[in-house]
Amino acid sequence: MAMRAAVAGASGYAGGEILRLLLGHPEIEIGALTGNSNAGQRLGALQPQLFPLADRVLEPTSAEVLAGHDVVFLALPHGQSAAVAEELGDGTLVVDCGADFRLADAGDWERYYGSPHAGTWPYGLPELPGARAALRGARRIAVPGCYPTAVSLALFPAYAAGLAEPEAVIVAASGTSGAGKAAKPHLLGSEVMGSMSPYGVGGVHRHTPEMIQNLSAVAGTRISVSFTPTLAPMPRGILATCSARAKPGVTGAALRETYEKALAGEPFVRLLPEGRWPATSAVYGANTALLQVALDEAAGRIVVVSAIDNLTKGTAGGAVQSMNIALGLPEELGLSTIGVAP
Amino acid sequence: MAMRAAVAGASGYAGGEILRLLLGHPEIEIGALTGNSNAGQRLGALQPQLFPLADRVLEPTSAEVLAGHDVVFLALPHGQSAAVAEELGDGTLVVDCGADFRLADAGDWERYYGSPHAGTWPYGLPELPGARAALRGARRIAVPGCYPTAVSLALFPAYAAGLAEPEAVIVAASGTSGAGKAAKPHLLGSEVMGSMSPYGVGGVHRHTPEMIQNLSAVAGTRISVSFTPTLAPMPRGILATCSARAKPGVTGAALRETYEKALAGEPFVRLLPEGRWPATSAVYGANTALLQVALDEAAGRIVVVSAIDNLTKGTAGGAVQSMNIALGLPEELGLSTIGVAP
Amino acid sequence: MAMRAAVAGASGYAGGEILRLLLGHPEIEIGALTGNSNAGQRLGALQPQLFPLADRVLEPTSAEVLAGHDVVFLALPHGQSAAVAEELGDGTLVVDCGADFRLADAGDWERYYGSPHAGTWPYGLPELPGARAALRGARRIAVPGCYPTAVSLALFPAYAAGLAEPEAVIVAASGTSGAGKAAKPHLLGSEVMGSMSPYGVGGVHRHTPEMIQNLSAVAGTRISVSFTPTLAPMPRGILATCSARAKPGVTGAALRETYEKALAGEPFVRLLPEGRWPATSAVYGANTALLQVALDEAAGRIVVVSAIDNLTKGTAGGAVQSMNIALGLPEELGLSTIGVAP
Amino acid sequence: MAMRAAVAGASGYAGGEILRLLLGHPEIEIGALTGNSNAGQRLGALQPQLFPLADRVLEPTSAEVLAGHDVVFLALPHGQSAAVAEELGDGTLVVDCGADFRLADAGDWERYYGSPHAGTWPYGLPELPGARAALRGARRIAVPGCYPTAVSLALFPAYAAGLAEPEAVIVAASGTSGAGKAAKPHLLGSEVMGSMSPYGVGGVHRHTPEMIQNLSAVAGTRISVSFTPTLAPMPRGILATCSARAKPGVTGAALRETYEKALAGEPFVRLLPEGRWPATSAVYGANTALLQVALDEAAGRIVVVSAIDNLTKGTAGGAVQSMNIALGLPEELGLSTIGVAP
């Protein structure tokens, strides 16, 4: 019998994508949908792409409404998840798409988010060493940030194998849906179409400590990260260009072999054949990460580029994948590896 | 009395932009326009935006057609400029938008371009130390590549002042016009809209040795460059994110002061006020480079982001600016610093 | 047991979309994939979004390769389908995404396509009166053109009910994938991004007689069509604005009621609630058509706007939907009504 | 000696475009810049493309601030112009980019704008019959709406010559800047990129009565207009597809000749050579309107397509062109016919 899932924050981009995926999930039935400012409205007016749910009405986000579901997805502004989760017992699997339970270091949390640390939950990036095991049977899941997903998948094999020096330099381009659905002047179509711009430069973006945490864990040593996010004129997608000095003696062949081994058997990550580089269009709406690696011998650097859909593998797809693992379902259930392209 | 300028390669994107600028230049009258496969066609069918030249007919590219002009702009495929220039005497100022005369090192040229080295001409990036002086009275100008323009402007102050370690990491996003007007499947609108993708990864892009040459010259020591270009879903613009480890003791205040001093008085380069970052839309069609700098203290890196229009400051605008200097005209003549935005 | 389907023309946009849908179809197993100039290449290099088929190799398009399948989809240039279909017996369901078998009138065919008329097959737009019955058990299907799909769905209820005068005026905007994957200069990203332009103006577009045929059949009288297609800066989607003078006495309420009745029960067409208008983003990758109607009383015209994905409901989705009917499968099998948005 | 111009509403898209043009106008010096919610801010933070004005500070919009200028441009929300204009005497030329003084019919005004009618000023579309004469020496100018500019230029020759029946059908696509800079959810980049959608369907768009007024005046009889605006995924540009039944006996040759004669000598309107159709990219940032006409003999309709930049010829360029006429300056001063393309 199908399990029932509720989605808190169903009117936003993450919530909409979660619902798109759950509608195609054979073991999930969609329960309560909640919003705050949009409570009382029909979903058809807010998420016109979710045809089968057009007549569903949003309820206010509250523990009463969310209670009694097998799974609750939280797609709420940072800082609101802990209070909701507390009222939902261990009978409910809570999958938090917010940042609240991602960082283990309370100091990092407070420095970057400016509020008290809520704790740490099993981390929903199954491809990282040890992560899949921690997710099995879990009742709470912290879904990674979209940039940390793209970056950690790109660099963990190199750091796990000790091929790279501990200073990573990352420049990533994101589609505008990563900035959410709140109407802000700099996110208007007139402003973003035809334009690239950086933001959060110089180490201040909140996803920086999450990348450091992930890469340091696999490396077994502190990795520093210089991270520059940029806004690209497209609705979806992250292209992350990640590099680090190669350790002495690393060869291109060894690099490639390391990545092939580290990613072997992963259903949602693909190292492209040599000579081909990933494009975000190829993963549009898919739960896939595409990777390619190169050794720049003149500059002495390993360069890895990864492409994901920030809303799918970067948020909702990663959430459903982790949910599947936690519930003991086949990991790929309800998830597609096929992009909608062109 | 106005000088007459010919444009070889008038049907391409660089040629079209040169003509757009020359049409607004008070001291230039437009002479011969040439093409190869398009010879015999009216410009109106090829460059519909150049309203006043709609009825002009393209002639074949040849020394006879180009002779007798005060200035000849070459917007030809790499490798074709030397032969044409040779037949034009010193009475003609030749401004080459191709790569042929940019690199001083014959080995670099041959490695990256696979043909014999043609030589070196005065380099048309007036903002670099010494460049303006070399351009005064010049009869030959090598216009820089679009990426090297964005990157050299971003990093030369840091390297000239000795603030940065000699390993630069650069990730740049370019609009599709940088790839030219030849119809290739991966440049179709269906492929590029909504998608970001890298190319020429791992040190193989031809603009890499040009960046190394420029930065090494100002630094007085060999600078290594890890350069990753990406294709962005927009027609124009380059956003270059450039970083390097800061030398010990460098402070944010010193960094900013260095940039303010290095760029003071430059008519076409602007360091933005603190807290604001450049967007390519702000320089759409303008000969302007916008810069911002940050010191990422945790990662120990200087991060500089620059935005230019690849066709204007990155090609045609830089060409006209350098022409003005060579001809003894006011440097800003016929060039606008104002972008067409939004 | 699953049926096997071959796709001829698997490297193009229509072929790629057919494969994307078939990969999610529970009763279809993918057999031979063919191409012409691309025969011998791996699909991963041509359709990087089709992750599970990355290692499949394209065969040359020939009757031998296509024989022995339960279903063959033809996504070939116009004029090539008849020869292939002839060699495939009635044991194979042939679904032609080309135009060859759409038009009943040989004169129309020859005037617009300039080649001998091949014949007429059951027409794959199940929502038209009588179409579904003709498709049941069919062994040959002519998939409609993308524009005729959008326009016929928009106007057939008005003409079937006799509400509109027999002169329709249609202006439609299409994403660039409608123009196919062949590299042509005017389809370059640099040309189409940020630009709208018309083409085939004045009654010369080949989809015009197909619209006239469909609307005249439901009206029982000759409908004239003024059709202007425009190219929009997006990869996918058609927005068709269709209008005709209202017959005397038609009211807004009667108009709406007519559409509600005509579309009731249709799984893939939705009349939006009053006050909301369709956007192509809401049907991105979905087999859905969204409609809205208005009566402009001052101008005396019925205005209907429809939105579809040109590659899905407009081509590959319509093809699969019609295949389902022909094979006696549930009509909605393997097809989603949910758009990938934003 | 240069005249001084003030711009009220300098932080919006129309105000920004007016300033871009005035910065290149040889007879105008820029005086006061005003805003409301943005008063006190530097222009560099609001209009980063206006490099030379980056350090100018916005003042509050008031008659005191605007007084004493030779020209005042009003780029204010509808309904605010009358009060400001009243306090500026006839010594000041007031150019209103709002709708307040466009409509002669008070009933039309009240029906569409819901406020008392302010009056009528000379109409700033010089190409219309009689308009240029009315603008000479004028002290008040009503700048047309962007859609009425595109549509009136497209259809006035046909109606002036009596070639078309009095029912026009118009479908136009506009870039998003036409919707202004106020942050609204449906105008977010995530919503508009990759999507086309209609709005104001069924005769309710406020520009409808303005089109009717213009076309009826040249026709000498009441013209009905069915107008459907659509939002296109681009920052700028309007493509208007306009059609009407041809009067009996009209030929394609007569149609073309009529347009050639009507537009002869117009500096900013160009009928393209036969076989070429306008694209909005060709007029990006230019004060140009490109037109093409066709006679669809089968459908019996005249089809005219026009392309303008909604912010330039559609607003700010039309305003400056009309100002030039009013002030007795050469009509083309400070205005370019050259688009920034690709």
Is A41 near chain C, with CB under 8 Å? no
Of the CA atoms within 13 Å of residue C258, those in its CB half-sphere come to: 22
DSSP string for residues in C225-238 = EEEEEEE-SSSS-E
Is C190 within 8 Å of B176 when comparing Cβ atoms? yes
List Cα–Cα distances, A127 to A150, A294, A323, in angstroms.
11, 21, 14
Q: What is the pLDDT of residue C78?
A: 87
CB atoms within 10 A of CB B167: 17
CB of C209 closer than 8 Å to CB of C154: no
Q: Read off the DSSP letter of residue D285.
A: T
Cβ contact, residue pair A235, B194, below 8 Å: yes
Q: Exposed (0-12), middle (13-18) or buried (19+): which is C1, by Cβ within 10 Å?
A: exposed
Q: Are residues C49 and A194, on separate chains, in Cβ contact within 8 Å?
A: no
**Catalytic residue numbers of C, as ranges:** 146
What is the pLDDT at residue D13? 98
Contacts of A307 in chain B (CB under 8 A): 196-197
Percent of chain A with pLDDT over 70: 100
Q: What is the mean pLDDT of chain C?
A: 97
Q: Which residues pair with B167 in a beta bridge?
A: B224
Q: Is C342 at the interface with chain D, CB within 8 A?
A: yes
Q: Which residues in chain A have their CB less than 8 angstroms from residue D187's CB?
A: 183, 188-190
Please say whether the dihedral angle defined by the alpha carbons of residues B52, B58, B61 and B63, taken in this order, is positive or negative.
negative
Distance CA A173, CA A176 (A): 10
CB A118 within 8 A of CB A80: no
Q: Is C189 on the interface with B (CB under 8 A)?
A: yes
Instruction: Write out the E strands in chain C.
Output: 3-8, 28-35, 59-60, 71-74, 93-96, 140-142, 164-174, 197-198, 224-231, 238-246, 269-271, 289-296, 301-308
Residue B166 sits at the chain C interface (C-beta within 8 Å): no
A305 touches B: beta carbon within 8 Å: yes
Per the prediction, chain B carries an average pLDDT of 97
pLDDT of amino acid A191: 98
Task: Measure D149 CA to nearest chain B CA, in Å.
Answer: 19
Whether A183 sits inside 8 A of D185 (CB atoms) is yes
Of C51, C336, C337, the CB nearest to A270: C51
Token pair in block for residue D131 = 């308009």
Cβ contact D23–B236 (<8 Å): no
Closest chain D CA to residue B282:
D49
Nearest-neighbour CA in chain C from D4: distance (Å): 34
Cβ-proximal residues to D101 (8 Å cutoff; 6+ apart), any chain = D81, D82, D118, D119, D120, D121, D140, D142
**B315 touching chain C per CB within 8 A:** no
* Contact call for residues D316 and B342 (beta carbons, < 8 A): no
Q: Inter-chain contact B13–C190, Cβ cutoff 8 Å?
A: yes
Judge whether A146 is closer than 8 Å to chain D, CB to CB: no
| Contact predicate B195/A281, CB 8 Å | yes
Choose the closest CB to A193 out of D13, D181, D193.
D193
pLDDT band at B238 (very low <50, low <70, confident <90, very high): very high
Check residue B78 and give its pLDDT: 87
CA angle A148–A151–A157, rounded 5-degree value: 120
Residue of C181, C291, C340 for testing the chain A interface, max A β-carbons within 10 Å: C340
8 A C-beta contact, residue D158 and residue A160:
no
Q: What is the pLDDT of residue B6?
A: 98
Are B203 and A296 inside 8 Å of each other by CB? yes
Alpha carbon dihedral A196, D179, C273, C162, in 10-degree steps, equals -110
Which residue matches tokens 């047991």?
A: C1
Low-confidence ranges of chain C (pLDDT < 50): none
For chain C, say whether B48 makes contact (Cβ under 8 Å): no
Q: CA A3 to CA C242: how far, in whole Å?
A: 44
Catalytic residues of B, by residue number, are: 146
Backbone angles phi and psi of C93, in degrees to 5: -80, 120
**H-type alpha helices, D100-225:** 106-113, 131-135, 146-160, 189-192, 208-219
Q: Which residues of C touch D294 (CB under 8 A)?
A: 201-202
CB distance from A23 to chain C under 8 Å?
Answer: yes
Q: Is the ipTM of this complex over 0.85?
A: yes
Contact criterion met (CB < 8 Å) for A45 and C276 = yes
Flag whether residue D87 sits within 8 Å of chain C, measured between CB atoms.
no
User: Strand D289-296 relative to strand D269-271: parallel, antiparallel, unpaired?
Assistant: parallel
Q: Which chains, if any, share at least 3 CB pairs under 8 A with chain B?
A: A, C, D
- Asked if C267 is an interface residue toward chain D (Cβ–Cβ < 8 A), one would say no
pLDDT at A1 over 70: no
- Tell whether the torsion through CA atoms of D127, D129, D135 and D136 is positive or negative: positive
Query: Per residue in A190-206, pLDDT tens?
Result: 999 999 999 999 999 99
Those residues whose C-beta lies under 8 Å from the C-beta of residue D156, and which sit 6 or more positions away, are D127, D128, D129, D214, D215, D218, D262
Sheet of B93-96: strands edge to edge? B59-60, B28-35, B3-8, B71-74, B93-96, B140-142
Choose the closest CB to B299 out of A197, A225, A277: A225
Q: At residue B119, what are phi and psi to the nearest 5 degrees?
A: 130, -170
Taking every pair of C-alpha atoms in chain B, what is the biggest distance, in angstroms?
62
Is C237's Cβ below 8 Å from some Cβ in D?
Answer: yes
Q: What are phi and psi of D175, to 5 degrees?
A: -65, 160
| Shortest CA gap C11–chain B (Å) | 12
pLDDT digits (tens, 9 = 90+) for A250-263: 999 999 999 999 99
- pLDDT, tens digit, 9 for 90 and up, residues B261-285: 999 999 999 999 999 999 999 999 9
Query: Is A228's pLDDT higher than 70?
Result: yes
A321 min Cα distance to partner chain B (Å) = 24
> Among all residues of chain A, which has the CA nearest to that of D311?
A190
Q: Verify whether the Cβ–Cβ distance C286 to A16 is below 8 Å.
A: no
Helix (H, G, I), strand (E, B) or coil at D184: coil
Decide if C240 contacts C147 (C-beta within 8 A): yes
Mean pLDDT of B64-77: 96
Residue C37 one-letter amino acid: S
Nearest residue in chain A measured CA to CA from D178 = A190
Low-confidence ranges of chain D (pLDDT < 50): none
A336 in reach of chain B (CB within 8 A): no
Q: Which residues of C touch B11 (CB under 8 A)?
A: none
What is the rounded average pLDDT for all residues in chain A?
A: 97
3-state DSSP: chain D helix, strand, coil percent, rounded to 5?
A: 30, 25, 45
Which tens digits make up the pLDDT trace of A17-38? 999 999 999 999 999 999 989 9
Looking at residue C1, its pLDDT comes to 66
Q: How many C-beta neighbours within 10 Å does residue B216 have?
A: 16
Instruction: Tell me if residue C60 falls in helix, strand or coil.
Output: strand
Which residues touch C37 (CB under 8 Å, ≥6 apart)?
none
Say if the Cβ atoms of B49 and D284 lie within 8 Å.
yes
Q: What is the β-pairing status of strands B3-8 and A301-308? A: unpaired
Would the CB atoms of B189 and C184 count as touching at under 8 Å? no
Nearest to D287 by CA among D138, D150, D100, D103: D150
* Burial group, residue A102, by CB count within 10 angstroms (0-12, 13-18, 19+): buried
Subunit contact B193:C191, Cβ cutoff 8 A: no
CB atoms within 10 A of CB A274: 10
Question: Which tokens is B69 given?
Answer: 């002009």
Confidence band of A78 (pLDDT split at 50, 70, 90): confident
Q: Tokens standing for C240?
A: 């068709």
pLDDT digits (tens, 9 = 90+) for B314-337: 999 999 999 999 999 999 999 999
Q: Which residues of C touch A291 (CB under 8 A)?
A: none
How distant, in Å, are the alpha carbons of A280, A339, C192 from that of B187?
14, 19, 11
| Distance, CA of D73 to CA of C271 (rounded, Å) | 44
Q: Which of D226, D292, D299 sits opposite C224 (nearest CB)?
A: D299
| C165-209 per-position pLDDT tens digit | 999 999 999 999 999 999 999 999 999 999 999 999 999 999 999
Q: Give kind and range of the element (H or E) at residue A73.
A: strand A71-74
